[in-house]
A and B are shown apart, each in its own frame.
Chain A
Amino acid sequence: MADEILQVENLVKHFPLTQGVVFKHQVGQVKAVDGVSFALHRGETLGLVGESGCGKSTLAKLLMALERPTSGSVRFEDQDVFALSRAELRRLRRRVQMVLQDPYTSLNPRMTVGDIVGEPFAIHGDPEGGRRRRVRELLEVVGLDPDHVNRYPHQFSGGQRQRIGIARALALRPDVIVCDEPVSALDVSVQAQVMNLLADLQKEFGLSYVFIAHDLAVVRHISDRVAVMYLGKIVEIGDEEQIYDHPTHPYTQALLSAVPVPDPTRRGTPIVLEGDVPSPTNPPSGCRFRTRCWKAQDVCATEEPLLQVRAARGPDDGADGGVTGSSHPSACHFADEKTARD
């Protein structure tokens, strides 16, 4: 589809776990990303949410071709990213850029802001009109004073530093920006500034975003579509309204119910999940969420639920007699809007 700028198919990344120094041998593997497929449409924001260890940052590195996958493919405008030559990959990098979480460590403290934002030009060649002029333009675009071009990162606040990171990502006029927790380190009052900036830039330059975050409210705010990850897999994917207002996977439901809402008149009782996320070296058989799931039955241990639209079953089949199923892809044998707990 021409509309799909990035296609991810069955992407797998396993990291070997080794023991010994001289006679290294593999004792297992961390299944960080384990069969992930999705497409990013031109001009949209796809949110990726999940808790720590779900593989979302590894996925970001794979999208940027900073890691090679164990198997599977990432296609950018129908080109397989991992089949490219070095020169081709470099050309691709102009078009897919990244914004990182920590504005304190992702900027070189000994470079001026002008050098940081202008560095992409040192690698990819100077823009028309000269590097200096373009850097000033970029600073202005992200809401920084162009006259601060000779300052160093420590002279800026956290929010301003994140703007510098965004200016650097914009320098080569990319089509796609992968944002890995771009506002997590920022104070609430500043976080909203950066989110609004990202939204404005998207409109202005027609950017497509992959927006990775653990904060579900932030992801809802910025995303058109959302994918929920658990232990290296996408468990549910749909548009923002489907995921947030009509979630059908128990994990999504638990996750959403656990987010405290800034409104004391709406205190809810969260679905409190028991235990911790299992280790990705040895994920549970069948459905990976079954060990913490209140709906789990025998089939969940033996048969892995596929990420697919699930037709509503008859009213007699539903656990509570209601309509079951999912109009968007959900990887649960018992996908259902009702949580069947109350």
Chain B
Amino acid sequence: MTNTPDPAPGTPLLQVEDLRVEFRMRGSTVNAVNGLSYTLAEGETLAILGESGSGKSVSAQAVMGILDTPPAYVTGGAVRFRGTELLGLPEKKRRIYRGAHIAMIFQDALSALNPVHRVGDQIAEMLIVHKGMSRGDARKRAVELMDRVRIPSAASRASDYPHQFSGGMRQRVMIAMALALEPDVLIADEPTTALDVTVQAQIMKLLSDLQDEMAMGLILITHDLGVVADVADRIVVMYAGRVVEQAEVKELYARPAHPYTEGLLASVPRVDVRDRALTPIKGAPPNLAAIPAGCPFHPRCPRAREERCPDEVPALRDVTGTGHGSACHYAEEVLGG
């Protein structure tokens, strides 16, 4: 629908390079994202895993171009959609990509939907604004979309208001809205965190079905190691605004190459294993206004060593020769167990 130049062959669908975001608050600067890089291929599911304050949501908002400035400033890096750099674009052009090429869904569907408009109208609005459809056509299409996300009796429910839907159904409405313009990339920020586990299973299944149908790239932002293991092709693990590890999903769970990932896997209780001893990571995630020098994880790391970790920031490097990246000086030791 928009005239994007044909990208060179081999250009990734989405490429984020050395992205930096800071929040300028009175008296302090919060460094939320500190040099984040990843790529997303067509049809791929990439999970961005991190705890609170890891920068996972802020980085997604920067990719979407929906950060509030001030206080947030993108201070460096690049976001390329099929080779086109988005960060420098004026808002008018940027808007063409938002929704039409890259769409996003959020954890809290209730606050993402307008409470005083019927959901059918809210979905139709997207189509009227972006595609120039007539109101009648847009309404019809909205009902089709609601049907597509498996909302029962979509035609009548289109004239209901958001509060009349359950949490799971609201999340479906938001997915219908995100898919209205048939985006190439869908960013899902903790899409099931507020939902019960049986509803979570419904929504994750829906997302993966839709991804297959529409051949979308999916970025799944989550803190849940179980959800990641279930659906992702590849994982990026974030800590203090940086990537500390990235790998294919099976590789990462079988052979973590960063002590933080190793610690997370040892911390999580499992529903399918009896009497599993938990080995927590000591301490708490860092304050982003005062990220530790050197490796940001070193104060909590059981493998940290005086000679390098407190001073030298470890670079993300391929530690297996097969694209398994780790930002740990001693990644080889972690791999060795």
Binding site for B on A (CB under 8 A): 51-52, 157-160, 187-193, 195-196, 214-218, 220-221, 240-241, 244-245, 254-267, 270, 272-273, 275-277
* A158 CA / B270 CA spacing, docked (Å): 22
Partner of A261, one of B167, B200, B226, B250: B226
B233-251: contact bitstring with A at CB < 8 Å (1 yes, 0 no)? Answer: 0000000000000000110
When A and B form their complex, which 3 residue pairs have the shortest distance between CB atoms, in order from nearest? A260-B226, A192-B280, A221-B269
B173-217: contact bitstring with A at CB < 8 Å (1 yes, 0 no)? Answer: 000000000000000000000001111111011000000000000
Closest to A185 in B: B52
Chain B residues within 8 Å of A262, by CB: 225-226, 228-229, 253, 265, 268, 270
Contact status A187-B51, CB under 8 Å: yes
Q: Tell me whether B91 is interfacial, beta carbon within 8 Å.
A: no
Chain A residues within 8 Å of B168, by CB: 276
Q: Tell me whether B66 is interfacial, beta carbon within 8 Å.
A: no
Partner of A51, one of B196, B202, B254, B267: B196
Given A265-B250, A267-B229, do A192 and B278 touch, yes or no (CB 8 Å)? yes
* A245 CA / B274 CA spacing, docked (Å): 9
Chain B residues within 8 Å of A276, by CB: 166, 168-169, 199
* A134 CA / B63 CA spacing, docked (Å): 52
* A241 CA / B272 CA spacing, docked (Å): 10
* A217 CA / B281 CA spacing, docked (Å): 18
Chain A min CB distance to B18 (Å): 26
* A214 CA / B200 CA spacing, docked (Å): 13
Partner of B284, one of A51, A160, A245: A160
Q: Tell me whether B74 is interfacial, beta carbon within 8 Å.
A: no
Q: Tell me whether B285 is interfacial, beta carbon within 8 Å.
A: yes
- In this complex, the member of A189, A196, A221, A275 whose beta carbon has the largest number of chain B beta carbons within 10 angstroms is A189
* A52 CA / B198 CA spacing, docked (Å): 11
- In this complex, the member of B52, B201, B300 whose beta carbon has the largest number of chain A beta carbons within 10 angstroms is B201
Chain B residues within 8 Å of A158, by CB: 52, 284
Q: Tell me whether B264 is interfacial, beta carbon within 8 Å.
A: yes
Closest to B277 in A: A196
* A277 CA / B169 CA spacing, docked (Å): 12
Closest to B49 in A: A188
Contact status A188-B267, CB under 8 Å: yes
* A157 CA / B299 CA spacing, docked (Å): 15
Chain B residues within 8 Å of A216, by CB: 197, 271
Chain A residues within 8 Å of B197, by CB: 51, 214, 216, 255, 258-259
Q: Tell me whether B94 is interfacial, beta carbon within 8 Å.
A: no
Contact status A192-B229, CB under 8 Å: no
Partner of A272, one of B202, B278, B279, B280: B202
Q: How many pairs of A and B residues are in contact by the CB < 8 Å rule?
A: 141
Contact status A189-B263, CB under 8 Å: yes
Q: Tell me whether B305 is interfacial, beta carbon within 8 Å.
A: no
Chain B residues within 8 Å of A217, by CB: 226, 268-271
Chain B residues within 8 Å of A255, by CB: 197-198
Binding site for A on B (CB under 8 A): 51-52, 152, 166-169, 196-202, 204-205, 223-230, 232, 249-250, 253-254, 263-272, 274, 276, 278-282, 284-285, 300
* A255 CA / B284 CA spacing, docked (Å): 31
Can you show 23 pairs from A to B with CB atoms below 8 A apart?
A: A52-B196, A158-B284, A187-B223, A188-B267, A189-B267, A189-B300, A190-B280, A192-B266, A192-B268, A192-B269, A196-B280, A215-B269, A216-B271, A217-B268, A244-B271, A255-B198, A258-B197, A258-B200, A259-B197, A259-B226, A262-B265, A270-B201, A276-B168
Chain B residues within 8 Å of A267, by CB: 229-230
* A254 CA / B201 CA spacing, docked (Å): 10
Chain A residues within 8 Å of B230, by CB: 260-261, 264, 267
Chain A residues within 8 Å of B205, by CB: 270, 272
Contact status B198-A258, CB under 8 Å: yes
Chain A min CB distance to B204 (Å): 8
Contact status A188-B199, CB under 8 Å: no
Closest to B51 in A: A187
Partner of A188, one of B166, B201, B225, B229: B225
Contact status A273-B198, CB under 8 Å: yes
Closest to B227 in A: A260
Contact status A188-B274, CB under 8 Å: no
* A158 CA / B196 CA spacing, docked (Å): 23
Chain A min CB distance to B81 (Å): 28
Given A217-B270, A221-B276, A258-B201, do A263 and B229 touch, yes or no (CB 8 Å)? yes
* A220 CA / B273 CA spacing, docked (Å): 9
Chain A residues within 8 Å of B253, by CB: 262-265
Chain A residues within 8 Å of B284, by CB: 157-160, 187, 189-190
* A158 CA / B53 CA spacing, docked (Å): 12
Contact status A220-B269, CB under 8 Å: yes
Chain B min CB distance to A196 (Å): 6
Closest to A156 in B: B284
* A244 CA / B278 CA spacing, docked (Å): 18
Chain A residues within 8 Å of B272, by CB: 244, 261, 263, 266
* A217 CA / B275 CA spacing, docked (Å): 11
Given A157-B284, A259-B226, A272-B205, do A188 and B264 touch, yes or no (CB 8 Å)? yes
* A255 CA / B51 CA spacing, docked (Å): 25
Contact status B201-A193, CB under 8 Å: no
Closest to A157 in B: B284
Chain A residues within 8 Å of B232, by CB: 264
Contact status B229-A218, CB under 8 Å: no
* A216 CA / B268 CA spacing, docked (Å): 12
Chain B min CB distance to A1 (Å): 27
Contact status B281-A218, CB under 8 Å: no
Contact status A191-B267, CB under 8 Å: yes
Closest to B249 in A: A264
Chain B residues within 8 Å of A277, by CB: 196
